[in-house]
Structure 1
Amino acid sequence: MAICALIAVGGLVADGRTLTGQPIWAKPLKFAVSIAIYALTWSWLLRQLTRFQRTAWWMGTLAALMLGVEMVVIVAAVLRGTTSHFNVSTGLDATLWAVMGAAIVVAWVATLVLSLFLLASPGPDRARNLAIRSGALISILGMAVAFLMVLPTAAQLQAPAGAIGAHSVGVPDDGAGLPIVGWSTEGGDLRIAHFLGMHALQIIPLALLVCELLSRRVPVLRQVDVRARLVVVTATVLTATTALLTWQALRGQSIIRPDVLTWLAGAAIGVVAIAGVGWSLRAHSTTAPLSERQQPTPGQSPR
């Protein structure tokens, strides 16, 4: 994927073509980076397993191969000067889209199996267990948002025009979008929820890592149940935000033009986040036994 990313960067510099309103090599670059992050994360997670290692290796290899197939189709489409996703304008395009779709489904199922293995193979630290498990499960939900994109739009049902499915809602896919990511600024865009949910796999463990690093200066974070509660709050907020972004997109609403309902829902999530942090930091001192409250962070020597 690193080679694909470098090729895509070169394409952005040397190839001035655009596709659906974006530089034609932007999509291969974004997918190469995303797949590389996915692969590196799961490579680390598989090392945490205490059971099912052999089967997990095969599932991880299968997922990586299927994502490689997706990348090949994307690059091939760029070289042909056409779109990869949702494209059924010719027999070849329809076949490539079907192959890509099948590869994506297989990769999703393989990732689901890996997530179940993580659930059945806990480690010694409760907070880390929660971070890994919740990150994997929310990532599965985020990936599943992509299945909403393959459904034909109302316009496509009325007048088929060489495409089945879209990532934008209420507007064409080639409309104006945010810089770099290309998310629609004119209508709904399911890619936003897809992106956030999928990368919970990295966000939640990284949030816990920050807590562990801060625990050197913030004594309350040395307590395992405080860190575990903060992980629960982070996972809850991420799940709710992914659901909100999906709901916003399905209503054809741009990420930069939220209506009152979206603002209210977002505010409610913010209140839950603030209250959850307060609950995490305060509840422990009156409920946990002394032995648990003094449990060190991973890598820290007991005092």
Structure 2
Amino acid sequence: MRSRTGSVREEGPWHGPLLVNSALMVALVVVSVVGMVVDDRLLLGESVWVKPAKFGFAFALYGLTLAWMLRLPHRGRRVSWWLGTVFAVTGVLDVGFIAVQAARGTFSHFNTATDPVNTIGQQVFASGVPGLFVANLVLAVIISWQKLTDQPTRIALKAGLWLAVTGMMLGYLMGFTGPQLVRQSDGTVVGLMAGHTVRAGDTARDSAPGLPITGWSTIGGDLRIPHFLGLHGIQLLLVLAVALLALVPRYPWLRTETTRAALLVVATLGYFGLVTLTCWQALRGQPLTDPDSTTLGAGAALALFVTAGVITVYLRAREADRAS
């Protein structure tokens, strides 16, 4: 890639701390999978090791994405390197505490137990989660002003970072769902100051069975859904950018960067709409599996918007082909 002065701007080295973060997270996933096999303890009806496995996988994937992104030529590399390091270190501390609590057979998030391990861990969370959010927010601001790479990939990266910021912000809403009582793996009851599920007056709402694998609630709104969608939008948009480029030989109307970039814009707007829709549904205490007519109508309108956007981009691309 060349700078405005014509000099070649080379990719930087891989971000070491983020790679170490991802390696540790992969190791945690392996340990957690083994734990699911050999450890029969349960929390909320699922293995105590499911949560560390989910967080380990998510952080491994996001850490690799950031490490690759920070290699791209951009201004402010020193600042972005330190922000990546803050994210890597804080992520290891936070997910490490989740793993420790899983090994102890108890809850990591919102746990009000007064034992020393939990007390220290909650302090780690109280400082670590804002650290992750601020590091990601400042990175999004820095990257938003950069050219980085080709236009479609650039849109995917920038939009993905802001989707992650949005997803992290939505995670804070879980802290306002109200207290509840749940059972630890040994059967004893512990209080949680909040939870994932929005369901008025239910002090054991997270204890109800959820969807397979994700565990998302089937009895009330679940704020983990928009939180999850926001955090992983960057990977989906990057996959879309790569897929569109791979389809160029078969569909010549996709050959220009402008056309593919326009499709990424439509996808980004649609994805932000999906995050908004699922958050709105969750805040209304409505399960993902049981949408009412209002939610279905909003979903249909969003689908029509995306479809119209794609058709518009297609027609303009074909018109440009004929004109040339």
Same fold (TM over 0.5): yes
Counterpart-to-counterpart distance in 2, 1:277 and 1:26: 38
Partner of 1:90: 114
1:267 paired residue among 278, 296, 300:
300
Instruction: Specify which of 282, 297, 316 is matched with residue 283 of structure 1.
Output: 316
The aligned residue for residue 157 of structure 2 is: 132
Q: Which residue of 2 aligns with 1:166?
A: 195
Give the conservation status (yes or no) of the 8 Å contact 1:108–1:140. Answer: yes
Structure 2 Cα separation of the partners of residues 278 and 109 of structure 1:
38
User: Could you tell me which residue of structure 2 aligns to residue 254 of structure 1?
Assistant: 287
TM-score (norm 2): 0.84
Q: Secondary structure at the match of 1:181?
A: coil
Question: After superposition, what is the alpha-carbon deviation per residue over 1:191-219, rounded to whole angstroms, capped at 9, x for unaligned?
Answer: 11111111111111111110000012110
Q: What 5-or-longer segments of structure 2 have no aligned partner?
A: 1-24, 182-189
Segment of structure 1 superposing worse, 31-40 or 42-51 = 42-51
Task: List structure 1 runs of 4+ shifted beyond 3 angstroms.
Answer: 284-290
Counterpart contact for 2:253–2:321, Cα < 8 Å: no
Check if 1:181 corresponds to 2:209.
no
Contact 2:48 2:103 in 1 (8 A): no
Indicate the residue corresponding to 2:126 in structure 1: 101
Following superposition, the deviation at residue 124 of structure 1 comes to 4.9
Aligned-pair identity (%): 35
SS of equivalent to 2:72 = coil
* 1:1-36 residue CA offsets vs partner (Å, 9 max, x unmatched): 111111100100001111022211100000000000
- The 3 A distance-change label for structure 1 pair 148 and 288 is farther
Residue-by-residue CA offset, 1:222-259 (whole Å, 9 max, x unaligned): 01211111001110111000011001111111111111
Q: How many residues align?
A: 287
- TM-superposed CA distance for 1:177, in Å, is 0.6
The structure 1 residue matched to 2:254, chosen from 197, 208, 221, is 221
Give the Å deviation of 1:126.
2.1
What are structure 1's unaligned runs of at least 5 residues?
294-303
2:41, 2:47 within 8 Å by CA — same for their partners in 1?
A: yes
Please state whether the residue corresponding to 2:206 is helix, strand or coil.
coil
Q: CA deviation at 1:103?
A: 0.4
- What secondary structure does 1:162 align onto? strand
Q: Find the counterpart in structure 1 of residue 92 from structure 2.
A: 68
Alignment RMSD (CA, Å): 1.9
Which amino acid is the alignment partner of residue 100 of structure 1?
Answer: F
- Give the CA deviation at 1:53: 1.2
CA–CA distance in 1 between the matches of 2:73 and 2:134? 18
**Whole-Å Cα distance in 1 between the matches of residues 128 and 209 of structure 2?**
29
Deviation string 1:155-187 (CA, Å, 9 cap, x unpaired) is: 69xxxx722121111051121111111111111
Paired amino acid for 2:69? L
- Given the alignment of the two structures, is residue 203 of structure 1 paired with residue 227 of structure 2, yes or no? no
CA contact (8 A) 1:49 1:118 kept: no
